[in-house]
DNA sequence: GCACAATACTTTACTTTTGAAAGTGGTTAC
DNA sequence: GTAACCACTTTCAAAAGTAAAGTATTGTGC
């Protein structure tokens, strides 16, 4: 009987699933950096302050797996890898901008 | 020269500051639970699936310190503690709802 | 012809944060 | 008198994050 813990878990867990994808410490900052167009790995490293290489790799992989960013490799020398937002990722722009505005008004 | 790493760091760090407050794994789920009005500690524990006591305490303290939730203690038996959103916290409602809608459309 | 730089990562060692579980203290219900 | 309720607190192991160095490939300067 009743293995489910919570009738509302469907709704609530959806939010948690979302936060599992973009709720981490770095995801939104990376997405924010990508609003201004495609970026190379090293550009993102410079644009997102205090992030370290390992975390940037991890977050990009995670977001790629979740269809938020697209990764394109070009066999140049030195190698070029370009990251862009997918449509799904672009749809986050107004939300992140609103969050940013909220912060300007209420943080500090 | 040039000790500053990034001219844009002012802007970018603001976003990171915001995410430091509400960008964790649990904050938004707790805020979401509080949209429907004041809640007691144990109610929140039941409403936010999979959170553990320790994390709920930590997040509530953090959000209280950041002026997002208000904590009120009533000397009843057993003790009653009520948590509510401040105005600042309430202003997050449209943003979190938009995020939720984004998830419904794009997650899965 | 060899050190050095650039790119896009990977690896290793270590610190911090998180999670699960049990405990606390006061009171009431059974 | 034992169990339950509430709002936490404590403890300890596991997971996640950070810093720093390493890898592979090629191009440039000396």
The tokens for A1 are: 């009987």
How far is Cα A106 from Cα B21, in angstroms, rounded to an integer? 11
Say yes or no: Cβ of B53 under 7 A from any atom of strand C. Answer: yes
> Which chain C positions have some atom within 7 A of a protein CB?
6-12, 18-23, 25-28
**Residue A12: predicted pLDDT:** 55
What is the structure's pLDDT at B12?
A: 54
Q: Where are the domains of chain A?
A: 9-106
Burial B48-85 (b: 16+ CB within 10 A, else e): bbebeeeebeebbebbeebebbbeeeeeeeeeeeebeb
Contact flag, residue A81 CB and nucleic strand C, below 7 A: yes
The CA-atom distances, in angstroms, between A69 and each of A40, A60, A78, A90, B100 are 12, 7, 22, 9, 19
**CB-CB: which of B16, B49, B67 is closest to A6?**
B49
Cβ contact B16–A99 (<8 Å): no
- Kindly give the confidence (pLDDT) of every residue in chain A, 108 residues in length, as a single tens digit, with 9 standing for 90 and above: 222 333 334 455 788 889 989 988 899 999 999 999 999 999 999 999 899 999 999 999 999 999 999 999 998 888 899 999 999 999 999 999 999 999 999 877
What does the pLDDT read at residue B4? 32
Which regions in chain B score pLDDT beneath 70? 1-12
Scan residues 34-73 of chain A and list those with Cβ within 7 Å of strand C.
Answer: 40-43, 53-54, 57, 71
Report yes or no: A3 at the B interface, CB cutoff 8 Å.
no
CATH classification (class only), A9-106? mainly alpha
Scanning every strand, the nucleotide with its C1' closest to A82's CA turns out to be C8
Is B62 (CB) below 7 Å from strand C? Answer: no
Q: CA-based angle A102:A23:A100, to the nearest 5?
A: 20
Report whether CATH 1.10.10.10 matches the domain B25-106. yes
Q: Which residues of chain A neighbour B88 with C-beta distances below 8 Å?
A: 106
Q: Which residues of B touch A92 (CB under 8 A)?
A: 102
End-to-end CA distance of chain B: give it in Å, rounded. 49
Question: How much is the pLDDT for B83?
Answer: 98
- Give the three-class secondary structure for A78: coil
- What was the pLDDT predicted at B13? 80
């Amino acid at each position: 009987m009743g293995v489910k813990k919570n009738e509302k878990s469907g709704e609530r867990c959806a939010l948690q699933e979302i936060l599992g994808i973009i709720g981490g410490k770095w995801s939104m900052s990376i997405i924010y950096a990508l609003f201004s167009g495609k970026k190379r790995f090293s550009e993102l490293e410079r644009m997102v302050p205090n992030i370290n290489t390992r975390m940037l790799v991890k977050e990009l992989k995670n977001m790629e797996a979740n269809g938020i960013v697209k990764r394109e490799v070009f066999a140049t020398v030195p190698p070029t890898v370009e990251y862009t937002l997918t449509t799904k990722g672009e749809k986050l722009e107004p939300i992140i901008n609103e969050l940013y505005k909220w912060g300007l008004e209420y943080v500090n």
